[in-house]
Structure formats: C-alpha cells, structure tokens
C-alpha cells in the first residue's frame, strides 16, 4: 500500500489541520487548494506511484493519504522558503544534485515507456528456453557463507580454488575475515535465468558463488525442489522480465552514447585527470573478482 513519507506526529497533526484551510472552492480536476496552490487529480495519481487499490474503499483511503502527504509537503516547503532555507549554501548544493537525478530518472521512465511489449511468440520462446525457471521451476535450498565483496583480492584468488563451505570458512577465519552463515531458499523465479542455467550445472558436492548486494554468497545446494509454474504466472513473469531486460539495454545504449560524447568535452584540473589509456588501445577493464564476477552468471568455485 501507499507508504507515508512524513512519519512524525507533528506532520500527522499538520495533515489534519490542513483539511479545510483553503478558502477557494476546488473545481474540475483540482482536488484541493492550499494558499492558492492547486493540487490536481494528476498530482494525486503521481503521488500514489502506480498503486492500484482492490476496491473503492481502499482507493478512497489511499487517495486521502496521498493528498495529506502532498499538503504536508507543500506546507512545510512554503514554511522553509519563508525561513529563507532556499537561500542557504547547503540548499543550493543539494538542489542541483536532486534536479539532475530527477531529470535522469524521468528520462529513464520515458525510455521505458517507449520499449514495446514482447510478442506472444517471443514470450513462448523465452519460457521454453528457460525450463528450470518455468516448466521445471527450481527452488534450491542452500547453505550459505556470506562475505563482504570488498575482500582482499589475494584471498578471493584462494577462495576460487575452494570446493566446500567448511574450506571457505576455514580460509576466511585464517585471514581474519568476518562472515555469516545461513540456510536459505533460492527461487529460480527471483533469479536471472542465466544464473539459474549455471546453478543447475554445478557438480554435486561442489559450491557456487553469486553476488548478493554488497556481499558474495558462497552456496552449497542441500536440496532441489521442482514446482512447475502455472502458465498464466509464467507468461506474466516472462513478459515483465523481457521488457525489463530490453528497457535496461535501451537505457544503457542511450546513456553510453551521451557519456562517450560528454567525456570528449571535459576539461579536468591537472590533479583530477583520469589515467591515460596505454598506447595502442583503450584502458583495460577492471579485473573481476575471481570468485564471483559482478555482471556474470555464478562462478563455480574450483
């Protein structure tokens, strides 16, 4: 459901106090007016961020919560301007960063809307080519050892040759590296299909490594369950996954083109110049951690 962005008691009280503070009667698409500032039905929809209520009663509650949030934010912003907060150096520094981020985010959303939905043939082909995600949907029960990704590269090199979790924990302990152990379920529907296709190829009594946020997850499969996904769910999931992948590719293409052109126009202060590429070629890409490349399917330890 819609999450409130103003959680304090003071703001909650402000929301209540704002109901009926305007003298101008809203009409048409205007749902409320605060000190001559109109709040429209479009503002309300945007505030709800795509939330689809299950019935009219929940919709009414969600709309009221969203309206209260808008009113509170505008009232507080107006008070901050009156206190000349927008004239402070700290505000000016943050304003440009927020505006830049908003422009980039809005552009990403615009690109996403332009990406066409996949055809039925593409969806069917995708589902058929990923049986371990759909027709033979896998749920892996794994024992895990979680390690910070910022581990000494020399230790990562040693870990790449280890084939068991006890061997991993022994090496980590030997090097004074903190780790956490869990037993978890990895649902193929929640993983990249490329990763799933690599997991099912891991030999028995071996381990595999995947990135997990700021951690590396060393995994030993304890059990594999097969629970076929119903057709409608498979189609919905595949449709969204294909659209997401295509959107990311479209965004990356456009952003890389802009960045490549922008770099040719940058003039650096001498102390901040980036390293020059070696003669005869571009600068080499950073070396991936041997145990788990950040943008690749899981590496098999050993």
Query: pLDDT by residue (tens digit) across 213-240?
Result: 889 999 999 999 999 999 999 999 999 9
Mean pLDDT to the nearest integer, 181-191: 95
| Dist. CA 211–CA 294, nearest whole Å | 6
pLDDT at 268: 87
Determine, yes or no, domain membership for 17: yes
The residue among 63, 87, 111 that closes a domain is 87
Mean pLDDT to the nearest integer, 64-91: 92
Confidence band (pLDDT; 50, 70, 90) for 52? confident
Determine, yes or no, domain membership for 223: yes
Confidence band (pLDDT; 50, 70, 90) for 280? low
pLDDT at 136: 96
**Of 138-142, 252-256, 264-268, where does mean pLDDT reach its minimum?**
264-268
129 and 221 in one domain? Answer: yes
194 and 148 in one domain? Answer: yes
Determine, yes or no, domain membership for 113: no
Question: What percent of the chain shows pLDDT beyond 70?
Answer: 82
**What is the SS3 string spanning 78-124?**
HHHHHCCHHHCHHHHHHHHHHHHHHHHHHHHHHHHHHCCCCCHHHHH
Determine, yes or no, domain membership for 262: no
SS3 59: helix
CA 253 to chain centre: 19
The pLDDT tens digits of the residues spanning 92-128 come to 889 989 999 999 999 999 999 999 999 999 999 999 9
Global confidence as pTM: 0.65
**Of 29-38, 142-151, 193-202, 277-286, where does mean pLDDT reach its minimum?**
277-286
Determine, yes or no, domain membership for 74: yes
Tokens 């004074």 correspond to: 176
Confidence band (pLDDT; 50, 70, 90) for 10? very low
Determine, yes or no, domain membership for 105: no
Confidence band (pLDDT; 50, 70, 90) for 146? very high
DSSP category for residue 158: H
Determine, yes or no, domain membership for 247: no
14 pLDDT exceeds 90?
A: no
Determine, yes or no, domain membership for 243: no
- The parent domain of residue 37 ranges over 1-87
Q: Count structural domains, the chain.
A: 2
Please give the angle made by the CA atoms of 250, 214 and 172, to the nearest 5 degrees: 140
């Amino acid at each position: 459901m819609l999450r409130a962005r103003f959680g304090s008691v003071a703001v909650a009280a402000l929301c209540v106090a704002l109901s009926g503070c305007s003298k101008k009667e809203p009409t048409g698409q205007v749902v409320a007016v605060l000190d001559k500032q109109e709040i429209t039905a479009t503002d309300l929809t945007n505030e709800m961020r795509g939330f689809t209520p299950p019935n009219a009663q929940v919709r009414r509650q969600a709309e009221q919560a969203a309206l209260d949030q808008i009113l509170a934010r505008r009232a507080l912003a107006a008070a901050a301007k009156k206190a000349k907060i927008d004239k402070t150096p700290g505000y000016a520094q943050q304003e440009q960063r927020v505006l830049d981020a908003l422009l980039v985010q809005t552009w990403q959303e615009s690109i996403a809307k332009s990406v066409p939905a996949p055809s039925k043939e593409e969806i069917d082909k995708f589902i058929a080519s990923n049986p371990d995600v759909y027709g033979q949907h896998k749920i892996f029960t794994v024992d895990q050892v979680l390690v910070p990704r910022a581990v000494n590269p020399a230790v990562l090199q040693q870990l790449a040759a280890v084939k068991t979790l006890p061997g991993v924990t022994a090496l980590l302990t030997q090097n004074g590296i903190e780790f956490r152990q869990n037993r978890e379920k990895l649902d193929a529907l929640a993983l990249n299909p490329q990763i799933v296709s690599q997991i099912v190829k891991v030999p028995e009594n071996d381990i595999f490594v995947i990135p997990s946020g700021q951690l590396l997850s060393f995994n030993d499969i304890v059990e594999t369950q097969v629970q076929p996904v119903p057709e409608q769910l498979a189609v919905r999931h595949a449709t969204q996954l294909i659209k997401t992948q295509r959107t990311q590719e479209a965004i990356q293409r456009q952003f890389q083109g802009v960045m490549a052109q922008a770099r040719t126009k940058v003039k650096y202060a001498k102390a901040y110049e980036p390293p020059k590429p070696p003669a005869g070629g571009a600068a080499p890409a950073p070396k991936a951690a041997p145990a788990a490349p950040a943008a690749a399917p899981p590496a098999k330890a050993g």
